[in-house]
Amino acid sequence: MKMQNEVAIVTGAASGIGQAVAVQLASEGARVVLVDLNSCEKTIGMLGDAEYLECLGDIRDPEFVKAVINRTIEKYGEIHILVNNAGTASRLDLEDMTLEMWDRDMDTNLKAAFLFTQAVIYPHMKEAGYGRIINISSVSGLNGGVVSGGDEKNGRSGPAYAASKGGIIALTKWVAKEVGKYGITCNSVAPGATATAITAGVPYDTSQQVIDRMGEPNDIANAVMYFASKDASYTTSQVLKVDGGISIG
């Protein structure tokens, strides 16, 4: 078990990619902290005998983030891994984008990642001289939005989503430069079209991909597992595209 007794915080752990990540981490011996706005009951049922802590609340709220970190330290005494996964995705185009929707995506996808990253590093990972931070971005943050079928006007992930995921990539690189001296790595996984609640009901033409299928949450979790492991001790500031080859062009 590569992560025996390590402590991993996973946001958005109730379903989709976060759920798959939490289950895989637990299968490798990690004690998982399940963070979500919604109940993680289904995820908990998939953990077997693994140790876990469930923390429910709004990841955009600095006080909730502090509470998650405090509860984790009180129960386990340390934090080794952080996976910033929770997110929202509007599909409104620029003309129809509202400030409310812009703020929702930016706060959930980018602000929350900043809050958790800051809170786990200072002082916990820094004092321990070890840490693995993995941010789930998106190929939308690299190419300005993955085109899907359906509504011609709003047929791809919107500008707020693309901007927030681009911000995640920039944050990943900035943090990696800052904390490598403390034995902490920071990397990102950039999924393409993946079968989660965010893409439910949205048609994607995967025939344009090298691998002609939708991604599955476990495809993304597999990449996260490498970055979260000690095997990745010399790997930082990377953005790994797990997208079926759509980015090849």
- Return the residue matching tokens 């996260």: 224
52, 161, 204, 226: which one is catalytic?
Answer: 161
Residues 6 or more apart whose Cβ sits within 8 Å of residue 247: 139, 142, 143, 192, 241
184-191 vs 131-136, strand pairing mode: parallel
For residue 40, CA distances in Å to 62, 101, 191, 241 come to: 21, 25, 22, 27
Residues 2 and 181: their CA atoms lie apart, in Å, by 23
130 among known catalytic residues: no
At 5, the amino acid letter reads N
> CA 238, 243, 247 angle in degrees (round to 5)?
80
Gap between the Cα atoms of 116 and 84, Å rounded? 8
Euclidean distance between CA atoms 17 and 220, whole angstroms: 7
Length of the chain: 249
Looking at the annotation, which residues are catalytic?
Answer: 161
